[in-house]
């Protein structure tokens, strides 16, 4: 052990295996005698199920069984919603397989279990279903209007919630400037590289479920609660998982039904979705209508902010559906100071796929709302958009700062990040080019967009989750085991699905224990191996789980110190720990921690009261969230003849606190920015008026590839978090949160001289062209 590991751009331990195909995706796994499940899904957005007849399917070759919802009625329970955000919330019954009524296209109504997938697919065609159509409810405003058809008996309002702080009336009374805008966060489909897949097996007593999930631990608890199978008889394994972006932070119908089928048939069963099936039935993201009013003084200082959201829940409340808009509740005020704030949110039921967490979850929506509005304020006052932000943001010397929404931001330096971004971007030069193109009436106009942001990461302090009425805690757990030969097993309760925890956790443990990076292995994602955990989402893994690893290593080191003192015949206080060895101060006597692991294993000579193991467990629960921040700048070229938008350059300076592995951080920022740009320019889940999803394939649901994106220029400032001993803040979502408004602000900036002050996302060429046509007329 020589150099410090934390901060090194280590190549990922995971990659050689991933890149050479030696992976264990759930779909690659099999069990002797495995059966294949296929689901028949509703083609109707809303209908009463009059009759389901699976008998013809049962008779087909290779078919072992076929069932409808009625066959599960007694045992399937209701899919859980763990976050009842308000007193008035309505949580409708949500059977994994529809029994009497379907409420979105894609809802499962029957299934076939066959000896192979091909026969199962053929047999689906033989199932007969009679539907009695009911009216679809697609539009949120219409859903809330009196006389709208109902999605559920209790009506179309799922919940309402309000937060107020300060005197809003006073802030708006006689305000010299009021900006009043409505923005639409389109519906998105999280698209992980690996589709969802589940396999379940039983030995007659116990059950094992393999699932492409982000949350094996939460899933285990929930499967027990939903099915009544005792928790200790369920083991959940998340093998290699190829991305999630929140979509695998879910307890899905397919997971519950596969478990029930394994129990009913006494055989292993497996299901893997197709991409089109995924587009229909992976929970969707975003989908908000944001009405924002902002009052300001003539110099641009914000007086008050009022936010009213309609949030589309879809047909049911899934694991954290209603909590998603509420994660933005305390962040519309963002990095700015103001006198008054009000946030209202109404959750609305529609006959569409339920929404839930999608990368950023509530925070991209909030950041978009405020950052678009700040640009409108700048335009109204004829100020530079950077200047308006400067006049309002919290200055670095003001931290810790308790915001109008009640969060305490522990640290940050918005000035430093912004200055760095401006100089990397060449802001003044681009503004000069913009002016020139405007003067020349160049058909290709240049637009410059800025987005500053902060977000709350490290979900989450358990106490705060309790106050928010969330159904679980936010701690994380880690164990460290020193093996006889001095190698180390780190067991983490986080559940990586592409983030590189194995590498980062190795770096953390290498420094804490003074053992080589190569001597550490990290185990995760199996409830029988990593017995406690709260899994991976909300940029929490490093900030909570990484810190738990530090704590577990600290405990091992203190145990080793006792053992070292005994072996070296000195007092523990006389020992210095350096480079992996305990040294008796003032002598050349020492023992490495790896040698001591062997001494603990043989146990030939242990001091009294010391057990024969250098192991430990630790749990970490922070007192506060962490608050990454940053400044993103985007330059776009808008072809005013065709409406095509091309990103010319993109600069991001993020402050994610202490960086464990810069390569991994860059990767997260790259992917995040790409995903945020995708919302700005490309992606949209489109339902027609009858509630049919029109974007079921990738020809219609457009995802950008590397060929559609520029090279990003990335840099960092490092202001350590004070809420955890690593000083880390979380980086999983930052890029996605900041980039969407940066791109749209740039587009609007290019078009503003034409009299355009908004373009709806995604800003397709056709939408940009229509906006221009609208003002040309």
Partner 1 sequence: MIPAQFDYERPSSLAEACEALAADDEAKVLAGGQSLLPLLRLRLAYPTTLVDVGRLEELQGVHDRGDHVFIGAMATHDEVMRSPAVTSGCPLVAMATSQVADPAIRHRGTFGGSLAHADPAGDLPAVVLALDGVLVARSAEGEREIPAAEFFVDYLESSLAQGEILAGVKIPKLGEGWGFHYEKFHRTAQSWATVGVAAAVHRSNGTITEARIGLTNMGPTPVRARATEESLRDVELGEQVRRACEQAADGTSPPSDLHAQPDYRRHLARVLTHRAVRTASGSP
**Residue 682 CB, nearest distance to partner 1 (Å)?**
7
Q: Tell me: does residue 663 bind partner 1 (CB under 8 A).
A: no
CA distances from 675 to 96, 186, 686, 707, 735 (A): 30, 14, 18, 14, 8
Taking a C-beta distance cutoff of 8 angstroms, is the pair 186, 684 a contact? yes
Q: Tell me: does residue 775 bind partner 1 (CB under 8 A).
A: no
- How big is the chain, counted in residues? 777
**Residue 38 CB, nearest distance to partner 1 (Å)?**
8
Nearer to partner 1, 177 or 678 (CB): 678
**Residue 769 CB, nearest distance to partner 1 (Å)?**
6
Stretch that binds partner 1, among 141-149, 249-257, 322-330, 766-774 (CB under 8 A): 766-774
Q: Tell me: does residue 690 bind partner 1 (CB under 8 A).
A: no
Nearer to partner 1, 298 or 707 (CB): 707
Query: Can you give the three-state secondary structure of 573-605, one letter per residue?
Result: HHEEEECCEEEECCCCCEEEHHHHHHHHHHCCC
Q: Which two tokens stand for residue 174?
A: 């006689």
Report the run of H or E that residue 630 belongs to, with start and end.
Answer: strand 629-639
Nearer to partner 1, 604 or 777 (CB): 777
Q: Tell me: does residue 766 bind partner 1 (CB under 8 A).
A: yes
Of 155, 704, 710, 725, the one binding partner 1 by CB under 8 A: 704
Q: Does residue 357 sit in helix, strand or coil? A: coil
**Residue 683 CB, nearest distance to partner 1 (Å)?**
11
Stretch that binds partner 1, among 120-128, 411-419, 421-429, 710-718 (CB under 8 A): 120-128
CA neighbor of 599 nearest in space, from 564, 624, 644, 556: 564
Nearer to partner 1, 106 or 461 (CB): 106
Task: Give, as ranges, the residues between 456 and 485 that touch partner 1 (CB under 8 A).
Answer: none
Of 686, 753, 755, 775, the one binding partner 1 by CB under 8 A: 686
**Residue 712 CB, nearest distance to partner 1 (Å)?**
17
Nearer to partner 1, 23 or 642 (CB): 642
Q: Which two tokens stand for residue 462?
A: 């358990």
**Residue 117 CB, nearest distance to partner 1 (Å)?**
6
Q: Tell me: does residue 24 bind partner 1 (CB under 8 A).
A: no
Stretch that binds partner 1, among 160-168, 261-269, 637-645, 752-760 (CB under 8 A): 637-645
**Residue 129 CB, nearest distance to partner 1 (Å)?**
17
Q: How many residues bind partner 1 (CB under 8 A)?
A: 29
Taking a C-beta distance cutoff of 8 angstroms, is the pair 94, 72 a contact? no
**Residue 124 CB, nearest distance to partner 1 (Å)?**
10
Of 29, 34, 60, 121, the one binding partner 1 by CB under 8 A: 121
Q: Tell me: does residue 193 bind partner 1 (CB under 8 A).
A: no
Nearer to partner 1, 43 or 230 (CB): 43
Report the C-alpha gap between 455 and 460 in whole angstroms.
13
CA neighbor of 2 nearest in space, from 554, 580, 564: 580
Nearer to partner 1, 35 or 221 (CB): 35
Nearer to partner 1, 192 or 614 (CB): 192
Q: Which two tokens stand for residue 112?
A: 């076939």
Nearer to partner 1, 34 or 702 (CB): 702
Taking a C-beta distance cutoff of 8 angstroms, is the pair 488, 497 a contact? no
Nearer to partner 1, 115 or 589 (CB): 115
Report the C-alpha gap between 304 and 71 in whole angstroms.
55
Task: Give, as ranges, the residues between 262 and 301 that touch partner 1 (CB under 8 A).
Answer: 274, 276-277
| Long-range contacts (CB closer than 8 Å, 24 or more residues apart) made by 10-16 | 10/503, 10/506, 10/507, 10/517, 10/661, 10/663, 11/503, 11/663, 12/500, 12/502, 12/503, 12/663, 12/664, 13/502, 13/503, 13/506, 14/500, 14/502, 14/503
Q: Tell me: does residue 760 bind partner 1 (CB under 8 A).
A: no
- What lies within 8 Å, CB to CB, of 321 at 6+ separation is 81, 83, 283, 313, 314, 347, 354, 355, 356
Nearer to partner 1, 601 or 682 (CB): 682
**Residue 698 CB, nearest distance to partner 1 (Å)?**
9
Q: Which residue in the block uniquely carries the two structure tokens 């050479």?
A: 20
Nearer to partner 1, 119 or 220 (CB): 119
Report the C-alpha gap between 632 and 630 in whole angstroms.
7
Q: Tell me: does residue 558 bind partner 1 (CB under 8 A).
A: no
Nearer to partner 1, 140 or 693 (CB): 693
Q: Tell me: does residue 93 bind partner 1 (CB under 8 A).
A: no
Q: Tell me: does residue 521 bind partner 1 (CB under 8 A).
A: no
Phi-psi category of residue 314: left, alpha or beta, with phi > 0 → left and psi -120 to 50 → alpha: left
Report the run of H or E that residue 222 belongs to, with start and end.
Answer: helix 216-227
Task: Please state whether beta strands 629-639 and 234-237 pair in parallel, antiparallel, or not at all (unpaired).
Answer: unpaired
Binding site for partner 1 (CB under 8 A): 117-118, 121-122, 125, 274, 276-277, 641-642, 644, 682, 686, 694-695, 697, 699-700, 702-705, 707-708, 764-766, 769-770
């Amino acid at each position: 052990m020589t150099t410090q590991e934390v901060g090194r751009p280590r190549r990922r331990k995971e990659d050689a295996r991933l890149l050479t195909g030696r992976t264990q995706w759930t779909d690659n796994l099999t069990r002797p005698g495995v059966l294949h499940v296929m689901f028949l899904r509703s083609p109707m957005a809303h209908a009463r199920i009059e009759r389901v007849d699976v008998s013809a399917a049962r008779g087909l070759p290779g078919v072992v069984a076929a069932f409808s919802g009625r066959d599960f009625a007694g045992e399937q329970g209701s899919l859980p919603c763990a976050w009842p955000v308000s007193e008035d919330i309505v949580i409708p019954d949500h059977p994994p397989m529809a029994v009497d009524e379907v409420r979105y296209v894609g809802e499962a109504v029957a299934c076939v279990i066959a000896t192979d997938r091909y026969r199962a697919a053929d047999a689906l065609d033989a199932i007969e279903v009679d539907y009695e159509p009911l009216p679809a409810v697609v539009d949120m405003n219409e859903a809330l209007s009196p006389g709208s058809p109902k999605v559920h008996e209790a009506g179309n309002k799922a919940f309402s919630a309000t937060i107020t702080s300060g005197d809003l009336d006073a802030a708006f009374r006689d305000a010299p400037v009021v900006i009043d805008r409505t923005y639409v966060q389109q519906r998105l489909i999280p698209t992980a590289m690996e589709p969802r897949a589940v396999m379940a097996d039983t030995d007659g007593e116990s059950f094992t479920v393999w699932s492409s999930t982000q949350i094996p631990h939460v899933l285990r608890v929930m499967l027990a609660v939903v099915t009544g199978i005792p928790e200790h008889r369920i083991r959940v394994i998340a093998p290699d998982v190829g991305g999630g972006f929140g979509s695998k932070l879910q307890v899905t119908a397919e997971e519950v039904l596969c478990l029930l089928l394994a129990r009913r048939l006494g055989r292993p069963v497996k299901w893997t979705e197709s991409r089109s099936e995924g587009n229909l039935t992976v929970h969707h993201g975003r989908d908000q209508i944001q009405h924002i009013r902002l009052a300001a003084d003539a110099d641009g200082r914000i007086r008050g902010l009022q936010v009213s959201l309609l949030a589309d829940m879809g047909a049911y409340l899934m694991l954290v559906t209603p909590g998603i808009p509420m994660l933005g509740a305390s962040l519309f005020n963002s990095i700015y100071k103001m006198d008054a704030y009000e946030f209202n949110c109404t959750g609305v039921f529609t006959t569409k796929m339920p929404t839930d967490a999608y990368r950023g979850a509530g925070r991209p929506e909030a950041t978009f709302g405020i950052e678009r509005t700040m640009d409108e304020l700048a335009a109204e006052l004829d100020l530079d958009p950077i200047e308006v932000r400067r006049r309002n943001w919290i200055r670095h010397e003001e931290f810790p700062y308790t915001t109008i929404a009640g969060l305490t931001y522990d640290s940050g330096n918005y000035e430093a990040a912004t200055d760095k971004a401006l100089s990397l971007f060449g802001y003044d030069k681009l503004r000069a080019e913009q002016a020139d193109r405007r003067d020349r009436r160049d058909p290709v106009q240049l637009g410059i967009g800025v987005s500053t942001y902060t977000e709350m990461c490290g979900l989450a302090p358990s106490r705060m989750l309790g106050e928010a009425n969330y159904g679980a805690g936010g701690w994380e757990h880690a164990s460290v085991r020193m093996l006889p030969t001095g190698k180390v097993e780190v067991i983490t309760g986080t559940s990586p699905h592409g983030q590189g925890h194995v590498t980062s956790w190795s770096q953390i443990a290498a420094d804490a224990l003074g053992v080589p990076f190569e001597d550490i292995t990290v185990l995760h994602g199996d409830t029988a191996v990593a017995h406690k955990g709260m899994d991976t989402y909300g940029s929490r893994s490093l900030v909570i789980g990484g810190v738990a690893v530090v704590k577990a290593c600290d405990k091992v080191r203190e145990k080793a110190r006792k053992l070292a003192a005994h072996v070296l015949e000195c007092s523990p206080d006389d020992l210095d720990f350096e480079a992996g060895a305990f040294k008796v101060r003032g002598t050349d006597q020492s023992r490495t921690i790896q040698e001591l692991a062997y001494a603990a294993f043989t146990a030939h000579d242990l001091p009294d009261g010391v057990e024969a193991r250098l192991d430990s467990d630790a749990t970490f629960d922070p007192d506060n969230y962490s608050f990454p921040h940053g400044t993103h700048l985007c330059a776009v070229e808008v072809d005013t003849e065709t409406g095509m938008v091309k990103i010319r350059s993109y600069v991001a300076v993020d402050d994610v606190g202490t960086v464990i592995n810069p390569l991994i951080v860059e990767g997260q920022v790259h992917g995040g920015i790409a995903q945020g740009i995708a919302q700005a320019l490309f992606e949209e889940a489109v339902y027609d008026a009858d509630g049919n999803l029109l974007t079921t394939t990738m020809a219609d649901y457009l995802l950008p590839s590397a060929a559609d994106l520029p090279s990003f220029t990335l840099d960092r400032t490092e202001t350590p978090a004070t809420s955890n001993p690593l000083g880390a803040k979380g980086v999983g979502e930052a890029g996605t949160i900041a980039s969407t408004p940066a791109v749209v602000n740039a587009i609007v900036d290019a078009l503003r001289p034409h009299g355009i002050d908004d373009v709806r996302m995604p800003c397709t060429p056709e939408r940009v062209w229509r906006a221009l046509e609208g003002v040309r007329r």
